[in-house]
Amino acid sequence: MPDSARPSVYPTACFRTPTVKMLDTGNSLDLAVRALDGKDFTPTGLNTKEAEAIGNLLPFLLCGEESAVHVFFREGRRIRQKAETAAQNLMWQIAGEEKVHEHMISLLQSKIPPSSDMETIRRRSHDFFVNMASKEPALHFARVAGLDSGVCKIMAALCAAHPISHSPNVHRVFSKVRSDEARHVRISRRYVLDLGLPLAALSSAAEQICSELVTLLEPAGGALEAVGVDSDRLFRHILREEV
């Protein structure tokens, strides 16, 4: 999609993604995205420091959602050649759901002052998601499953934090992402095993990507603390250490 055709509140963070219309699953997902434009994403209930902290966290999330759209869309296109219709439709359905997340986060971000460190966040996030890619679908989706598991833990911590639980619009976005990603984790894990990757290899790939995720997010520790999340505790949880 040309930049001129993109809504001004819907900027690309790291990766330009396919449009929902390209996801051959009917009009429902396209309508789901369009319906968001009429909703209020103003982050009420946050003070200036909390809003700025959310503004520092959203670029990480937006890059992740953009990457996820590509991952599931491309896998659907790859297996389409094998006439695996059910699996293809599932991949493209998830790509559409990730597209909805992307749009929600972008609309929320448009209501919050941009991070002063935006370019650094974009660069580091872009490199993280590019480096996690693999030409082996099973390994790539093992990493995706691990990453999505980490994202679920982050969203759970944010949703439980007092400022966000008292900001309905922010909580709505984060809750939606958390709920969908929990299901995506289950689907990705099952898909990886169906592709023949041993369970031990799945666990190893997930542990590695979670470690790299923590490294990516460590500079955002202060932003997490500003909205009431104990960053050290969260990072240990992502790494599956006892808390």
- 169: its two tokens: 């619009």
Domains and CATH numbers, the chain: 17-238 (1.10.620.20)
What pLDDT sits at residue 2? 37
This model's pTM is above 0.75? yes
Helix axes 199-217, 137-160, angle to 10 degrees: 50
Cβ atoms 236, 243 nearer than 8 A: yes
What pLDDT sits at residue 225? 97
User: What burial letters (b/e) apply to 83-117, b meaning 16+ CB within 10 Å?
Assistant: eeeebbebbbbbbbbbbbbbbbbbbbbbbbeebee
Cβ atoms 169, 175 nearer than 8 A: no
What pLDDT sits at residue 28? 54
In tens, the pLDDT along 114-170 reads 888 888 998 999 999 999 999 999 999 999 999 999 999 999 999 999 999 999 999
